[in-house]
Amino acid sequence: MNTSRSRMRTWRSAALAVLLTAGTLTAVAPGAQAQGARTETPVTTSAPADGVVESVVRVKVPLPASFGARPAACDWLSYLRYRSSAGPASSSDADRVLLAQPGILEGAGAFDSVARNTVARAAEQGSHIEFWALDRRSNCLEDHTGIASGDQHTSVDYYYRGKQVAGRTFDGYVGNNRLGWMAKLGIGQTVRDEYDLLAAELPDQRLRKDKVLCGGHSLGGVITGYFATADFDGNPATTADAGHNQCAGYFALDTTVSTSLGDLSGSLPDDTNLPDIGLGYGVVQAGLDSGLLSRTLSAPVLLNPETMTLLAIAGLGVVDAPDGEADLPSYLPVNVNIEATNRFLFSKDTATFLSGTPAVKDFRLTNAAVLGALMDDNSVPLAFLQSSVGLFDGGPVTDKNFPVANGGDAQPGLFGTEYKAIPDTPHGPLYTWRNYDRVGDPDDPGHRSADGTPFTSAGKEVTDIKELARSLAEQPLDFTEQYFPTKLVTDLQLSTSPQVKGLVAHPEGLTANPTLTVLAGDGLLAGRVPADLHPVVADGYQHLDVLTAAPVQNNGRPEPTSTNLARFARSPR
């Protein structure tokens, strides 16, 4: 371990102690700025020097008493604050503040690259803006202690073997019986949290209306739509508190600013525990209140708190030694979820999935190849988890025809359209990872499917796997989301019910401000967004790439999402 990495891990442990005790501070009324109502802690990462300062901010905004018992940390709202080191220290003095809502199963850390790139791009143009990446309140339940150690083995030992880190022992993932308070955590409270956080951080409504750009990624676009149409003082006749009057403009990243899930249809996995939308609002709410329905969105394989944590653990290996041979598959314990997830992600066909042979442990992989297998659009079969970070290298690859065959058209919104590849030789060569910016180089073997189709090309690769790993492993607020509130999605699915429809007090709010829409060219909404929105299309991008893409692309041009966000921030009207 080198000295600088050791110092970073020591800093993380100290910062972690501060963050873990934040929830014990004195309670105050929402919006107040009394002593102890707010903490801000600098974040140190291995990000390249870009003139961007990052901190994690927590503001105490207690839930109503009607929510019932919950951990003290859940009475706090959190966000990652990115700003120019050459700009003002106070948010109220920034030229603009971009406020971003995350998508489904997504945390604030997912915005790390686009936030840094946008702030840096604006600074190059003489504008000092801030980017606030919001975390949902339910992320208060996550235990980052193992990841914050900065060491992959230490993390596995913490989460699986009862080993202490920083004097703390993992209590296990939180079960449904301990999540009664989340039964009420729907779209109404989510937009209220956004309003209360803005009011606390920027108390002057006129300043908010002049400087704040409200937006989000994926489901965050729908949340922004409800925020824009909401009324926050209980009197629709007074409009200073209306959601659209807290924003100077809106931005939508591979989504639309709307109050409908229609644009995201087909992108949710079928095996989650989402209730049948044929049920009425009262029935669904009763099921959540009683615990008969799971209060968090999860699935037996892949989409659950354990697997979301494993993505960050895989990222640690890349941050530490991207080209080192991985031992994570063999170091992890054997349990049903890990075994089933590994089979789902690393089986070339149905026969391999059923037999479990060859398994991921039978291949020699670098740390970067492990993360690529988990996150790349030519490997992972779920579209909303895909980014374009390169391809396997170092040995022969073959078609991955499970769970769907290459060249088919089964549920493209769920599985994506890119051909999937997988290493072909167990117990053979060390499979490495060809990063996004080396695809198409003279030494690229140009792997092809059995039908002759190239698995990828330079124009299809946009995200640096090392940056993706840093965002997964180094952020104090997770990239992924372990405890997504089921009620947030059921509310949106039941948008015509009186209880949800009544939240749309100012429907004109959707068009009250200018909107920037940036779409992933190969993402969830490809070809499905009305032309009158005049979207910016990022060619070759997958759904996550609008957040994770590298600042300079393979064509030598600046990254389009952040470039257009910086331009929009200068003059949204």
What is d(CA 250, CA 212) in angstroms, rounded to the nearest whole number? 9
Among 321-330, 337-346, 426-435, where is mean pLDDT lowest? 337-346
Question: What is the pLDDT, as a whole number, of residue 385?
Answer: 87
What is d(CA 444, CA 512) in angstroms, rounded to the nearest whole number? 50
Question: What is the pLDDT, as a whole number, of residue 5?
Answer: 43
- Considering Cα of 474, then 475, then 481, then 482, what sign does the dihedral take? positive
Question: What is the pLDDT, as a whole number, of residue 172?
Answer: 96
**Residue whose tokens read 């949710």:** 268
Query: From the CB of residue 171, how many other CB atoms can be counted at a distance below 10 Å?
Result: 7
Query: Between the CA of residue 242 and those of 229, 235, 357, what are the distances in Å?
Result: 7, 9, 58
Question: What is the pLDDT, as a whole number, of residue 29?
Answer: 34
Bond from prior residue into 358 cis (ω within 30 degrees of 0): yes
Among 258-272, 282-296, 394-408, 478-492, where is mean pLDDT lowest? 258-272
pLDDT digits (tens, 9 = 90+) for 474-510: 999 999 999 999 999 999 999 999 999 999 999 999 9
Residues 6+ apart with CB under 8 A from 492: 187, 219, 222, 260, 261, 500
> Average pLDDT, stretch 155-170?
97
Q: What is the DSSP letter of 418?
A: S
What is d(CA 249, CA 442) in angstroms, rounded to the nearest whole number? 45
Among 20-24, 292-296, 309-313, where is mean pLDDT lowest? 20-24
pLDDT higher at 528 or 297: 297
Helix, strand, coil fractions of the chain, as percent rounded to 5: 40, 15, 45
Burial class (CB in 10 A: 0-12, 13-18, 19+), 133: buried
Question: What is the pLDDT, as a whole number, of residue 6?
Answer: 42
Instruction: Please say whether the beta carbons of 66 and 179 come within 8 A.
Output: no
Tell me what the pLDDT averaged over the chain comes to: 90
Question: What is the pLDDT, as a whole number, of residue 3?
Answer: 39
The three-state secondary structure class of 477 is coil
Question: What is the pLDDT, as a whole number, of residue 14?
Answer: 35
Element at 507 (helix H, strand E): none
Q: What is the DSSP letter of 120?
A: H
Counting Cα atoms < 13 Å in the Cβ hemisphere of 214 gives 30
Among 72-76, 90-94, 345-349, 528-532, where is mean pLDDT lowest? 528-532
Helix axes 305-320, 152-160, angle to 10 degrees: 160
For the residues of 210-230, what is the DSSP string, one character each? HHEEEEEETHHHHHHHHHHH-
Q: What b/e sequence results for 424-458 when a residue is b if at least 16 CB atoms lie within 10 Å of its CB, and e otherwise?
A: bbeeeebbbbbbbbbbbeeeeeebebeeeeebbeb
Burial class (CB in 10 A: 0-12, 13-18, 19+), 361: middle
Question: What is the pLDDT, as a whole number, of residue 415?
Answer: 83
pLDDT over threshold 50, residue 17:
no
Question: What is the pLDDT, as a whole number, of residue 524?
Answer: 82
Highest mean pLDDT, choosing among 8-22, 183-197, 378-392 = 183-197
Question: What is the pLDDT, as a whole number, of residue 1?
Answer: 38
Q: What residue ranges define each of the domains in the chain, with the CATH number in brackets?
A: 3-149+186-266+501-570 (3.40.50.1820), 312-473 (no CATH)
For residue 525, what pLDDT band results from cuts at 50, 70 and 90? Answer: confident
Phi, psi of 203 (to 5 degrees): -60, -25
pLDDT over threshold 50, residue 558:
yes
Phi, psi of 458 (to 5 degrees): -60, -35
pLDDT digits (tens, 9 = 90+) for 24-45: 222 233 333 445 799 999 999 9
What is the percentage of the chain residues whose pLDDT exceeds 70? 91
Question: What is the pLDDT, as a whole number, of residue 460?
Answer: 97
Question: What is the pLDDT, as a whole number, of residue 532?
Answer: 84
Q: Which of 53, 51, 70, 55 is nearest to 124 (CA)?
A: 51
Query: From the CB of residue 140, how many other CB atoms can be counted at a distance below 10 Å?
Result: 20
For residue 94, what pLDDT band results from cuts at 50, 70 and 90? Answer: very high
pLDDT over threshold 80, residue 409:
no
Question: What is the pLDDT, as a whole number, of residue 11?
Answer: 36
Question: What is the pLDDT, as a whole number, of residue 573?
Answer: 64
Q: Which of 558, 553, 538 is nearest to 436 (CA)?
A: 553
Structure tokens, 299: 């699935």
Structure tokens, 371: 């993360």
